[in-house]
Amino acid sequence: MGQSLTQKILASHLVSGNLEKGNEIALRIDQTLTQDATGTMAYLQFEAMNLSRVQTECSVSYIDHNTLQTGFENADDHAFLQSTAARFGAYFSRPGNGICHQVHLERFAKPGKTLLGSDSHTTTAGGMGMLAIGAGGLDVAVAMGGGAFYLPSPKVLRIWLTGQLSDWVSAKDIILEVLSTLTVKGGVGKIIEYAGPGVKTLTVPERATITNMGAELGASTSIFPSDEQTLRFLTAQGRAEDYVPLFADDDARYDEELEIDLSLLVPLVAQPHSPDNVVPVSEHSATAVHQVAIGSCTNSSYQDLMRVSQILKGKHVHPDVSLVISPGSRQVLSMLSSNGALTDLLDSGARLLESTCGPCIGMGQSPISKAVSVRTFNRNFMGRSGTQDASVFLASPEVAAACALTGFLTDPRTLEISPVVEFPERFRIDDSMILPPGDPNTPVRRGPNIQPLPLAPRLDDTLDLPVILKLGDNITTDDIMPAGSKILPLRSNIPAISEFAFHKIEPQFAAKAKILKQSVIVAGHNYGQGSSREHAALAPMYLGVRVVLAQSFARIHRANLVNFGILPLTFVDEMDLNRLQPGVVLHLNDLHQSLQSSEPFAVTIDNDPTPVLVKHDLTERQAKILMAGGLLNSTSASL
Ligand code: MIC
Ligand code: SF4
């Protein structure tokens, strides 16, 4: 039987385990990326493991999330990361050089290789035919040191693309269509592979928009074949030698399949407050828009912004709309500047931001109260924009530009001209903002914002834990550990950032947790969806949360809980969630023995004769890590 693209790359990188579904496999990692909001932790962990030099083919440390520098904190982090990159042997992409995923696609991604990144949208490089996976910083630090990355052997879902996109319909509409079919839980435990005759109609940056938002499906990653389009992109980036052709075998078998006829798609939007809440934009034509934000790792490529500039050229942004644009990289910005498109954007009234994540993670540009904000980004969780009562719609650059002109949610097919952007034969290549690995004796610069890593205690055999918080389905890491311009600068200071854990849901959470000393959180399905931020595990751990009992977990967050010594448990009968309320005390006895067996075990509750049956689904390796109080404490942390 033939192999899928996924199986080919997994098989060529398999260190241990077998590819039977659900088994834990260990993979060799060729490349890593970190960004500043998660990278400080990853490099502190690299140091804590006494590792001295990265062992991968290439590791890159990017600064792209925290560049507002409203105090010394961001700058402290930048200096720390520049010095650790030099010392430990990583490339360093300087602040302003661009968003990690865009720059990585342009300058580093290679078909057939594996990439592990401390950001959930590392999947973007799947558009280049890479197996690119998001993970917590500690897993990335281990991979930088040459250690394997562990994940459950995934199911493979093939999405078969036929036909061709119509005018004004774009790659964003393809992934929004997939999200509306599969939902934000639909990709959990799966790798999504794109195939079919429609694939060759999509350029690498368009494919990257699709693989980027595979993260919103909860998928481990998404991947496209490496073909003529891949060669074209690499050639234009001056990297034709990195090309290798890569396809699934014709007789490969898949666990699930889905088919999409590209010619039937229309311009779509994801309505507030979830990326899978998708409808045609035409259903909202009476909705007034207050802000349009174009950029992010999803939609800020050269072609995206060229299409926007053609739509806006010679026209003016509606007076009630604030249009902000953040080009994905310095390469994109300098090309727009040298061909005059930047002038068209500025003349239309657009406000130009740095080539960083910016408004996507609430770093400035929070919209007006009760705003409707149309964003080309990938997440529209409530409050993520920095304005709690704003309604954020996710859309393509074409829809966003049309809205900026009319002041209403607009189907761009109602505009007269359709933009035509030629794929550049040569991108503008200037790697002077990427510093190569430096001297191993470079001293680490540690300003006052860089605080030591807290470690979890060893897991007790008996735990009596009051329920501190009861939550519903699809709780995001933004709910657990919000970002934004006030909180993000504290990412390298766990005692300080912990004060903000859950503070939008329960402002007293940190204070209560400190009084209780130890506690358990109970939740519904897909707990911890969204970002890879370890802080969503580290801060609760620091505040004494020992167990999260949920109906199900998102992949990256569950791995982060294990790495930081919080026990993730699920219900055998998910209706038992209804029996648990805040304040109820759960008693977990003989835990060490229970973790060594794969059988469900009973948790008793005060004043209730019927115990709650729970299971842990941990591998032997994970159980050992948990009992030791997390990966850094565990003797198995040795690579
Ligand atoms: C995000 O989009 O939420 C982030 C900010 O890029 C995160 C990483 C982080 O929290 O630092 C992600 O997606 O992993
Ligand atoms: Fe940055 Fe937004 Fe992409 Fe996260 S989703 S990496 S915050 S641009």
pLDDT band at 1 (very low <50, low <70, confident <90, very high): confident
Ligand 1 atom 1: residue of nearest CA: 531
525 Cα–ligand 1 center, Å:
20
Q: Are 613 and 549 in contact (CB under 8 A)?
A: no
Probe target for ligand 2 pocket from 35, 62, 99, with the most ligand atoms within 8 Å of CB = 99
Q: What is the pLDDT of residue 82?
A: 98
Residue type, 427: F
Nearest to 194 by CA among 121, 267, 124, 127: 127
Question: What value does the CA radius of gyration of the chain take, rounded to a whole number of Å?
Answer: 23
Q: What is the pLDDT of residue 638?
A: 42
104 Cα–ligand 1 center, Å:
16
Q: What is the pLDDT of residue 633?
A: 86
Of the listed ligands, the closest to the CA of 120 is 1
- Gap between the Cα atoms of 89 and 67, Å rounded: 23
Residues 296-325 pLDDT 10s: 999 999 999 999 999 999 999 999 999 999
Residues 12-28 pLDDT 10s: 999 999 998 879 999 99
Contacts with 511 (C-beta within 8 Å, 6 or more apart), sequence order:
none
Q: What is the mean pLDDT of residues 380-406?
A: 98
Ligand 1 atom 7: residue of nearest CA: 531
178 Cα–ligand 1 center, Å:
22
3 Cα–ligand 1 center, Å:
33
Ligand 1 atom 10: residue of nearest CA: 533
Residue 60: CA atoms inside 13 Å, Cβ hemisphere, count? 30
Of the listed ligands, the closest to the CA of 99 is 2
Q: In this model, does residue 637 exceed pLDDT 70?
A: no
Nearest to 109 by CA among 16, 304, 239: 239
> Which atom from ligand 1 is nearest to the alpha carbon of 120?
14
What does the block give as tokens for 565?
Answer: 């010594």
65 Cα–ligand 1 center, Å:
8
Ligand 2 pocket by C-beta < 6 Å: which residues?
A: 65, 99, 119, 121, 296-297, 357, 360-361, 377-378
241 Cα–ligand 2 center, Å:
29
Q: In this model, does residue 398 exceed pLDDT 80?
A: yes
> Which atom from ligand 1 is nearest to the alpha carbon of 379?
2
Q: In this model, does residue 425 exceed pLDDT 50?
A: yes
Range with the lowest mean pLDDT among 127-141, 244-258, 624-638?
A: 624-638
Q: Which residue has the tokens 């909860």?
A: 218
Of the listed ligands, the closest to the CA of 384 is 1
Q: Which domains does the chain have, with CATH numbers?
A: 5-264 (3.30.499.10), 269-414 (3.30.499.10), 463-635 (3.20.19.10)
- Gap between the Cα atoms of 401 and 395, Å rounded: 10
Q: Which residue has the tokens 């761009």?
A: 412
Probe target for ligand 2 pocket from 121, 212, 355, 392, with the most ligand atoms within 8 Å of CB = 121
What does the block give as tokens for 18?
Answer: 């077998």
Probe target for ligand 2 pocket from 100, 360, 381, 485, with the most ligand atoms within 8 Å of CB = 360
408 Cα–ligand 2 center, Å:
26
Q: Are 200 and 227 in contact (CB under 8 A)?
A: yes
Secondary structure class of 220 (helix, strand, coil)? coil
- Gap between the Cα atoms of 193 and 177, Å rounded: 16
Q: What is the pLDDT of residue 607?
A: 83
Percent of the chain with pLDDT over 70: 99
Main-chain dihedrals φ then ψ at residue 324, nearest 5 degrees = -120, 140
pLDDT band at 35 (very low <50, low <70, confident <90, very high): very high
- Gap between the Cα atoms of 544 and 468, Å rounded: 10
Q: In this model, does residue 639 exceed pLDDT 50?
A: no
> Which atom from ligand 2 is nearest to the alpha carbon of 483?
7
Secondary structure class of 237 (helix, strand, coil)? coil
In angstroms, how far is CA 400 from the centroid of its own chain? 22
Give the pTM: 0.97
Q: What is the mean pLDDT of residues 328-353?
A: 98
Ligand 1 pocket by C-beta < 6 Å: which residues?
A: 37-38, 65, 119-121, 134, 361, 483, 530-533
What angle (nearest 5°) sits at the alpha carbon of residue 40, between those of residues 362 and 490? Answer: 45
Of the listed ligands, the closest to the CA of 215 is 1
Maximal CA-CA distance, the chain: 74
- Gap between the Cα atoms of 483 and 504, Å rounded: 11
Calculated CA dihedral for residues 35, 39, 40, 42, nearest 10 degrees: 180
120 Cα–ligand 1 center, Å:
6
Residues 464-522 pLDDT 10s: 999 999 999 999 999 999 999 999 999 999 999 999 999 999 999 999 999 999 999 99
Probe target for ligand 2 pocket from 65, 363, 392, with the most ligand atoms within 8 Å of CB = 65
What does the block give as tokens for 161?
Answer: 């693309």
Instruction: Catalogue the active-site residues.
Output: 64-65, 119, 379, 531, 533
> Which atom from ligand 1 is nearest to the alpha carbon of 532?
14
> Which atom from ligand 1 is nearest to the alpha carbon of 35?
11
Of the listed ligands, the closest to the CA of 213 is 2
Ligand 1 atom 13: residue of nearest CA: 531
Q: What is the pLDDT of residue 419?
A: 86
Calculated CA dihedral for residues 103, 101, 13, 149, nearest 10 degrees: 130
533 Cα–ligand 1 center, Å:
6
Q: What is the mean pLDDT of residues 388-407?
A: 98
Q: What is the mean pLDDT of residues 563-570?
A: 97
Distances (CA, A) of 503 to 41, 132, 265, 477, 517: 22, 32, 40, 12, 18
In angstroms, how far is CA 274 from the centroid of its own chain? 15
Q: What is the pLDDT of residue 635?
A: 44
199 Cα–ligand 1 center, Å:
28
Percent of the chain with pLDDT over 90: 96
Q: In this model, does residue 459 exceed pLDDT 60?
A: yes
Secondary structure class of 121 (helix, strand, coil)? helix
Q: Which residue has the tokens 């605080």?
A: 451
> Which atom from ligand 1 is nearest to the alpha carbon of 121?
13
| More confident site: 332 or 455 | 332
- Gap between the Cα atoms of 555 and 219, Å rounded: 8
User: DSSP per residue over 129-193, as a string?
Assistant: T-EEEE--HHHHHHHHTT--EEEEPPEEEEEEEES-PPTT--HHHHHHHHHHHH-TTTTBTEEEE
Is the C-alpha dihedral spanning 34, 39, 41, 47 positive or negative? positive
Q: What is the mean pLDDT of residues 288-300?
A: 98
Of the listed ligands, the closest to the CA of 64 is 2
Main-chain dihedrals φ then ψ at residue 495, nearest 5 degrees = -55, -40
User: DSSP per residue over 334-355, as a string?
Assistant: HHHHHTTHHHHHHHTTPEE--S
> Which atom from ligand 1 is nearest to the alpha carbon of 478?
3
Sheet holding 190-195, edge to edge: 221-223, 190-195, 155-162, 256-261
Q: Are 544 and 519 in contact (CB under 8 A)?
A: yes
pLDDT band at 107 (very low <50, low <70, confident <90, very high): very high
User: DSSP per residue over 261-318, as a string?
Assistant: EGGG---EEEPTT-TT-EEEGGGGTT-B-SEEEE-TTTS-SHHHHHHHHHHHTT----
Secondary structure class of 44 (helix, strand, coil)? helix
In the chain, DSSP finds a helix count (H) and a strand count (E) of 19, 27
Q: In this model, does residue 523 exceed pLDDT 70?
A: yes
- Gap between the Cα atoms of 163 and 5, Å rounded: 22
Probe target for ligand 2 pocket from 60, 304, 357, 556, with the most ligand atoms within 8 Å of CB = 357
238 sits in the region (left: phi over 0; alpha: psi -120 to 50; else beta) called: left
Q: What is the pLDDT of residue 634?
A: 76
> 255: buried, middle or exposed (CB in 10 Å: 19+, 13-18, 0-12)?
middle
Q: Are 84 and 128 in contact (CB under 8 A)?
A: no
Mean pLDDT of all residues belonging to the chain:
96
Main-chain dihedrals φ then ψ at residue 544, nearest 5 degrees = 95, 10
> 506: buried, middle or exposed (CB in 10 Å: 19+, 13-18, 0-12)?
middle
Ligand 2 atom 2: residue of nearest CA: 360
